[in-house]
Amino acid sequence: MTIFIIQLLNSFFYAAVLFLIAAGLSLIYGVMRIVNLAHGSLYALGAYVSAWVVGGTVGHAASGTLGLAGLLLLLPVGAVAVAVVGAVIEPTLLRPLYRRPEEYHLLITFGLLMILEDAMKFLFGGTPLTAGSIMDHMGSIPIGRLLYPTYNLFVIAIGLIAALGLWWIIYRTKFGVILRATSQDRRMAAALGLNVSRVYVQAFAIGCFMAGLGGAVVVPAQAAVLGMGIEALILAFVVVVIGGLGSLEGALVGALIVGLVRTAGIQFFPEIELAVLYLIAMAVLLIRPTGLFGRA
């Protein structure tokens, strides 16, 4: 029973991180109709920046004066940095290509992926970076007769808050109405006098922030390593294929499914764990090509 609860929590932890990545990917696609292949690398960038800041001299200083609170305050720096990168990328690299066919979107974002991967190799080197001090500071709580890292529960909470926050922004705010209108018909939104370019920058920056946040919350538990972005991108695609690209609910449900299947896979069928995920994605594509929550 205890093992079961712990495995469930592990899948929620995993799902929370996946949701952050996939929700950003989905948001960007929903608004701009761009499949951002660089999304995984933006997640990795967030991880690297957060680990570098928290694990570096700034982190030591913050931890010295403020303790755990100081470190937690520094953790989102990676997400903010990625949002800033996004706010630069959208108007300079993506905007000139919106009117072009999709191949161009894939080419430019794939190029961006390569550049980001190399930039990270150049900036942070090949050594894994962690922000493990946060995990250590937070300690563990007993579940049954076992100990579970408190930090994992913290990440699950962040995932939930992010889901609720995004839902609130999209469905309950003025910005959300404008965002949904722009995503439905950018020409018409422009006709109404809405500033579509600004909405695009904001949406892209929010999507990047989500990816960066995913990276930031991961590094206290797992080190930032080269190649983590590609792996995350593929899993994020499995999530949005299952849930439906462009749907927030889809990203949430897809992340939960992938999280649960992956955890169960590691426990019960490690040899074919990834294969099972792809099979599920395939089945969804065959039965509902737009994903569980997607619209044609």
> CA nearest 51: which of 74, 73, 70?
74
The stretch among 25-33, 94-102, 189-197, 264-272 that binds other proteins (CB under 8 A) is: 189-197
> Please, what sign has the CA dihedral across residues 207, 259, 163, 149?
negative
- Can you tell me which of 33, 95, 137, 180 binds other proteins, judged by CB under 8 A? 180
Asked if 245 contacts 26 with a C-beta cutoff of 8 angstroms, the reply is yes
In order of 49, 73, 212, the CA distances from 68 in angstroms are 18, 9, 21
DSSP-derived secondary structure for 280-294? HHHHHHHH-TT-SS-
Q: For other proteins, what does the binding mask look like between residues 129 and 168, x meaning CB under 8 A?
A: ----------------------------------------
Cβ closer to other proteins: 161 or 192? 192
**Number of residues counted as binding other proteins (CB under 8 A):** 21
- Can you tell me which of 18, 138, 199, 252 binds other proteins, judged by CB under 8 A? 199
* Smallest separation (angstroms) from other proteins to the CB of 164: 15
Q: Is there binding between residue 194 and other proteins (CB under 8 A)?
A: yes
Q: Is 254 helix (H, G, I), strand (E, B) or coil?
A: helix
- Can you tell me which of 176, 230, 266, 274 binds other proteins, judged by CB under 8 A? 176
> CA nearest 38: which of 75, 86, 76, 88?
86
Beta-ladder partners of 129: 224
> CA nearest 158: which of 13, 11, 27?
13
* Smallest separation (angstroms) from other proteins to the CB of 200: 12
Q: Which two tokens stand for residue 69?
A: 């609170």
Cβ closer to other proteins: 167 or 175? 175
Q: Is there binding between residue 2 and other proteins (CB under 8 A)?
A: no
* Smallest separation (angstroms) from other proteins to the CB of 118: 35
Cβ closer to other proteins: 185 or 231? 185
> CA nearest 251: which of 20, 14, 52?
20
Q: Is there binding between residue 191 and other proteins (CB under 8 A)?
A: yes
Positions that interact with other proteins (CB under 8 A): 172-178, 180-181, 184-185, 188-195, 198-199
